């Protein structure tokens, strides 16, 4: 059986490029499994289904090694699990050297494949670390410039004390208090609790 696995990290990212690559590699797939989840670990619903399907002699195709995962140790372990424990083959479209079908009886080929795998896995994890570092540096620089992160805080209406007092004394219900203050329930209660604290 021939299987393919595609993955993107976020729900708003597209799988299209990977699916086109599968179509262009001239392999008839029994099924293509897809996940829209981070590659930090292998807790992915469709990946787990794929692993349960894989049998000795099957072929798993991925577009690039970082689609399998981005954690160096996890990628190495998973590669060995698939190729050694299950006995299935793996073909990485973007790196033809990572094609275990070609190295079945070729010791040098297997050796080269293992070295390339370890190198690419290291690069994939290192890039993930670098991305996080750059993001952290960017956020720090933005905060220094005064950029605010997160949702903007809802301004407290001028007549909030009057509304809060009526709500506290049960002259009006919550729905009416929200309508009068034009606030969402979370914002209303944040200010209401502050109002109560100040008036104890």
How far from the centroid of its chain's Cα atoms is residue 72's Cα? 16
How far is CA 190 from each of CA 57, 76, 161, rounded to the nearest angstrom? Answer: 60, 49, 13
The residue annotated as part of the active site, out of 9, 113, 181, 186, is: 9
**9 part of the active site:** yes
How far is CA 69 from each of CA 3, 9, 42, 77, 182, rounded to the nearest angstrom? Answer: 17, 10, 7, 11, 46
Rounded CA gap, 92 and 86, in Å? Answer: 18
Order of strands, sheet of 2-8, starting from the edge strand that comes earlier in the sequence: 31-36, 2-8, 59-62, 89-92
Residue given tokens 């140790």 in the structure block: 73
Rounded CA gap, 49 and 196, in Å? Answer: 53
Q: Which residues are catalytic?
A: 9
């Amino acid at each position: 059986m021939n299987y393919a696995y595609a993955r993107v990290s976020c729900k708003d990212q597209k799988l299209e490029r990977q699916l086109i690559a599968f179509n262009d590699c001239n392999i008839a797939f029994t099924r293509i499994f897809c996940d829209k989840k981070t590659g930090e670990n292998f807790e992915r619903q469709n990946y787990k289904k794929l692993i349960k399907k894989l049998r000795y002699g099957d072929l798993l195709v991925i577009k690039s090694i970082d689609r399998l995962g981005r954690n160096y140790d996890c990628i190495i372990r998973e590669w060995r699990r698939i190729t050694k424990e299950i006995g299935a083959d793996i073909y990485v479209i973007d790196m033809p050297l990572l094609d275990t079908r070609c190295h079945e009886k070729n010791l040098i080929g297997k050796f080269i494949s293992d070295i390339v795998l370890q190198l690419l896995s290291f690069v994939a994890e290192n890039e993930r670390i670098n991305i996080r570092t750059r993001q952290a540096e960017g956020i720090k620089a933005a905060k220094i410039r005064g950029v605010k992160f997160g949702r903007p805080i809802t301004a407290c209406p001028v007549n909030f004390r009057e509304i809060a007092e009526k709500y506290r004394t049960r002259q009006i219900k919550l729905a009416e208090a929200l309508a009068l203050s034009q606030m969402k329930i979370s914002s209303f209660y944040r200010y209401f609790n502050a109002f109560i604290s100040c008036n104890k």
